[in-house]
Amino acid sequence: METVNASSFKATCLALLKKVKRTGQPILVTLRGEPIAQVVPAEVSEKKQDWLGSAVGSGKILGDIVSLPGVQWEVTGN
């Protein structure tokens, strides 16, 4: 595992993040020789799920959805 001190990590953060993504190898970030963080590649799901249609089949209509008992609808012509 590659080790980088915090000041070097700060100066080259984007390049190091791209390296972790490309190689899949984690990087250990240290401050005065003490480990403070570990940068690891993100776990990415193979199938991206679109939110459109994601609730299909999850609902159930149990009766008339237009008529409500005791409620009268009024139409105004504005």
| d(C-alpha 35, C-alpha 64), whole Å | 62
| d(C-alpha 78, C-alpha 11), whole Å | 62
What does the pLDDT read at residue 34?
96
Domain segments of the chain as ranges? 2-39
Q: What is the pLDDT of residues 14-63, one digit of tens each?
A: 999 999 999 999 999 999 999 999 999 998 766 666 778 878 888 888 87
Residue among 36, 13, 39 nearest 25 (CA): 39
Whole-model pTM? 0.56
